[in-house]
Chains A and B, each alone.
Chain A
Amino acid sequence: MAVITDEDIEALARLCRVDLDAEGIARGRSYLEAIVDLLETLQAVDISKVHPFVAADLVAALHDPPGPTALREEPPGPCVPPAARPS
């Protein structure tokens, strides 16, 4: 069972910029304990010889005809007109 304290929840809440009241902290803690237990089941998987999955590599491998993913060429494109900018 994952050990998560109220202080852990408060620290996480500060990092993601949300304020939690006492009830929110308690609920956050019981949630995190349950879900972290679920995530920790992954520790049983042997990943020693496995690379991280990279979605962009999957995409690049499917280009037909094969070739690198094209980068953007320079000509300046349209910009948001001044009226579109938030004040």
Chain B
Amino acid sequence: MRAAGSPAIMIEVDPTPQSAWTAWQTADAVRRGEVSALAMTQAALARIAAVDPHLHAWTLVDEPGALAAAREIDAARARGASLGPLAGVPTGLKDNFVTAGLETNCGSRILQGWVPQEDGFHAARLRAAGAVILGKLALDEFGMGSSNENTPFAAVRNPWALDFVPGGSSGGSAAAVASHTICFSLGSDSGGSIRQPASLCGIVGLKPTYGRVSRSGLIAFVSTLDQAGPFTRDVRDAALVLGCLAGHDPLDMNTIRAPVPDYLAAVARGQADGLAGLRIGVHHEALALPGLDPAVRACFEAALAVLIAAGAELLDVSLPHFRHAVPTYYALASALATSNLARFDGTRYGLQVTGEDFARSCTAARSQGFGEEVKRRLLLGTHVMQARSGHYERATRVQTLIARDYAAAFERCDLLASPTTRLPGFRLGERVHDPVAMYLSDIFVVGANLAGLPAISVPAGFAPATDPDGADMARPRLPVGLHLVAPLLAEATLLRVAAAHEACTAWHLEVPPEAAR
């Protein structure tokens, strides 16, 4: 079923340009022999060379490794071996995923030069599925940031407007996919770090249920919230990649041992059958939020209209502890990051400083190796960890209340909807001097992490950039995301609804100026 009055846009396999192909289109074409993995890889490398000097999304491009991997796929096809679901699909991983032979530095000087011996879970799964890893993608140092500006390396640019941030912390992963250099990428999301950049770059970003995807090989940031997930240009690709990653992993004791549903079937169902009988909750706290950009709100309401037209029913629900999510997140995130970063003492890997003794070399390495935002969070995390502050314990209890709010809401509805961000993207440098204001911009996305819930951001329109402090600046058209949150392990519902929305809209087909180069 298709929403009455909305034009149905079915994506047909269009052989030109190949850079616009999705992962499923590419893998289909490679499996059928219509294009070689090598040709796809060469084309992607050429696009990186053309586009990335403007974007700085890539921190490392492994041309020989990628070409060798692509040739292996082609050789496997030539000898009649069965190819994986991502056969010949060019990809890249956020630089907090451990990759064999590829420097993995997490956007930090303290890990610069560290080349892991073995692939982590995610790189291994992607390679096993036939994906061709082209390299590593930029991030805020250790995942700490919402703009990709917290880095000792080049700040990533937004492909829709180069003086705007791509979002963070997985900004490189978002910009690389939005600029059509690769079909999909992996990011990680501890407090919105997949969904917020996906929204700002106009693509799909999915954070699975906590424990659905292993964290083994993902460099720990907020261990109780971290989840890996895909950036893609359509919902079907998100389902395809999630299917390759989901499942129990004995190396991560916090992975869920449960069957992995057929996510592609959920997408097909959303595309074909619409949303009759589905109840979508809108929590009124979200819309009452001061500072919600009117154009973002208009996009959100248009997206709700699409869902209603597809058969969904809208419900008003409440998340009473919504406004406590940001401080709760920052208490947990700073303490766990401080704990997880304690291993960086400058003695075993990355930056090594020789001092008179361990204490001195450790302090010297950490002082030289960590950037300003990381040091800030270490101060905060140390304060939060001190038992007498009581902050950590309190935050874990408020987290329980936030999770209960969602559970109560899901007794009345199947899914929650909100905008992904309050504002369309912001300019580089616009918020760096007010970190706490930057933190508050995570308000719509952190709740899903705190409650462990799966969530997705999908393209839902465009809004003119805001004009900071009445400065008379150009206001380019920037993407806006629709944010959907589902009950625990209900990724299939999430994908079904996202697919239904996508089937009735064309936002995901828009191409940013940087991809048109």
Contact = CB atoms under 8 A, between A and B. Distances in A.
Contacts, number: 144
Contacts of A9: 379
Most buried by A among B324, B328, B381, B394: B394
A58 B397 contact: no
Interface string B292-317: 00000000000000000000000000
Contacts of A12: 379, 382-383
B395 A50 contact: no
Given A28-B376, A45-B324, A47-B401, A18 B366 contact: yes
A17 B275 CA distance: 54
B401 A55 contact: no
Contacts of B363: 17-19
Interface string A15-48: 1111110001001100110111011011101010
Contacts of B345: 17
Contacts of B106: none
Nearest to B255: A59
Contact of B256 (A35, A45, A63): A63
Contacts of B394: 42-43, 45, 47
Interface in A30-87: 31-32, 34-36, 38-39, 41-43, 45, 47, 50-56, 58-59, 62-64, 67, 69-70, 72, 80, 84, 86
B379 A51 contact: no
Nearest to A51: B400
B379 A28 contact: yes
A53 to B, nearest CB: 4
A26 B348 CA distance: 32
A9 B378 CA distance: 11
B375 A28 contact: yes
Given A52-B397, A55-B210, A56-B253, A38 B326 contact: yes
B481 to A, nearest CB: 25
Interface string B387-405: 0000101111111110100
B398 A32 contact: no
A56 B452 CA distance: 10
Contact of A38 (B257, B259, B321, B436): B436
A53 B400 contact: yes
B98 to A, nearest CB: 13
B207 to A, nearest CB: 14
Contacts of B354: none
Interface string B126-161: 000000000000000000000000000000000000
A53 B397 contact: yes
A19 B383 CA distance: 16
14 contacts: A12-B379, A15-B382, A17-B362, A18-B367, A19-B364, A19-B367, A27-B376, A41-B324, A45-B324, A50-B397, A53-B450, A55-B452, A58-B210, A84-B117
Given A9-B379, A62-B256, 13 more contacts: A12-B383, A17-B359, A18-B367, A18-B375, A28-B375, A34-B435, A35-B439, A47-B394, A50-B397, A51-B397, A53-B399, A62-B489, A84-B117
